[in-house]
Structure 1
């Protein structure tokens, strides 16, 4: 296996680390067929970013949103984890890393074999919903089954309340419990590896800085420059899947 100098250095850091944390953004899922946020076809560039101000305020608007969700969900559900997700799973399940903090809502880390308690979803998940009155959580599959059965406005099976996506819209605060857990993991890590994030959205982008402030190391893997490249110990330019598979193989080769 031919390694670049940066990959060799990264493997050395990973072997020496005792508490690795991963931080992933949309760039890790582009190889699974999902758009990133800030690339040419990303939702930021094309203006397809839902905000808190766009929450449906009438029954008609909500029904229209459900119809669009019904059409979109099979595509989201069919996405499969790529080499990058699988490499992170191998490292965490092999005891080489603590957890993965993710900005993604696609559920691909769990689909790659990680349990929920090893995945900290800062922006929620597109695979679940919650009711507005009481916060009951309902699976995306349950909602999809009811939409395909002809329901136009599925309601919470527990209380009959209005459902909304269990994701964070622009303008909303991050879920307190997830953010607190992410901060604890970042503070405990002696090495954070950022994969596929431009690191411009706060407070999430502050997490690698927390690791550095506590004396930890930082590796950034991305196709394009990020906002924290100057802070990183190693920057690797490349596709997340290929690079992560290479690093995981190098680390686990010695195990």
Structure 2
């Protein structure tokens, strides 16, 4: 149904109304709903878009881009830096509520009464916080709320507690640790 509901540059009320009617029809006849989302969803909640060197630290002069800061090599070369970046993000995500669009999508999903899935490039966990079931959300870039060992990808020993799952929740990291 993608082509049926895509209206590039729709700005006139009648164009928008026609597009909405096509969406309603497509939803009524679909077998399942796939919601796809990217950085715009997080930005609308007040999160930075992480593009360029000021994405994460708008108030600081940072000589690296977000992509450079996020390189896995830092967990080996400078673990304090790597965990500092990750902790900053986790805290930001914990304290930023999902905007109303998430609730609207969830309401549509529940009203539809069909299987609903989310595919997102966002790592913020906003869909889950808004009420979407974790097992229905695919995060193609991972999720800051689920951590993975950098050594053997299965077992982490150390700071929080021993974990044997390949991917585990970041809930054990206490809030305010960096204060």
Which category describes the TM-score, using the shorter chain as reference length?
0.5 to 0.7
Would you say 1:126 and 2:156 are equivalent positions?
no
How far has the Cα of 1:109 moved from its partner? 0.6
Q: What is the rounded CA distance, in whole Å, between the counterparts of 1:66 and 1:37 in structure 2?
A: 17
> Which of 74, 77, 82 is residue 91 of structure 2 equivalent to?
74
Confirm or deny: 8 A CA contact 1:21 1:99 kept in the other structure: yes
Structure 1 residue ranges without an equivalent (≥5): 151-255
Deviations 1:91-136 (A, max 9, x none): 3333244211111111011101111111111111011212232423
Q: Which residue of 2 aligns with 1:65?
A: 82
Secondary structure of 2:127's match? helix
How far has the Cα of 1:87 moved from its partner? 2.1
Secondary structure of 1:126's match? coil
- Normalized against structure 1, the TM-score is what? 0.47
Secondary structure of 1:14's match? helix
Q: What is the rounded CA distance, in whole Å, between the counterparts of 1:103 and 1:62 in structure 2?
A: 25
Q: Which residue of 2 aligns with 1:208?
A: none
Q: What is the count of residue pairs matched by the alignment?
A: 143
Deviations 1:142-174 (A, max 9, x none): 1235x8299xxxxxxxxxxxxxxxxxxxxxxxx
Secondary structure of 1:113's match? coil
- 1:1-12 matches, within 5 Å, as 4-12=17-25
> Which of 2, 9, 19 is residue 32 of structure 2 equivalent to?
19
Q: Which has the higher contact order (CA 8 A, sep 6+)?
A: 1
- Normalized against structure 2, the TM-score is what? 0.64
Q: What is the rounded CA distance, in whole Å, between the counterparts of 1:38 and 1:149 in structure 2?
A: 24
> Which of 105, 108, 111 is residue 91 of structure 1 equivalent to?
108
Distance change in 2, residues 1:67/1:19 (3 Å): closer
Q: Which residue of 2 aligns with 1:141?
A: 171
Secondary structure of 2:124's match? coil
Would you say 1:116 and 2:129 are equivalent positions?
no
Q: What is the rounded CA distance, in whole Å, between the counterparts of 2:171 and 2:137 in structure 1?
A: 20
Q: Which has the higher helix share?
A: 1
- 1:158-177 matches, within 5 Å, as none
Distance change in 2, residues 1:24/1:9 (3 Å): same
- CA-atom RMSD in angstroms: 3.1
Q: Which residue of 1 aligns with 2:125?
A: 107
Confirm or deny: 8 A CA contact 1:73 1:144 kept in the other structure: no
Q: Which residue of 2 aligns with 1:228?
A: none
Secondary structure of 2:75's match? coil
Structure 2 residue ranges without an equivalent (≥5): 1-12, 57-63, 155-164
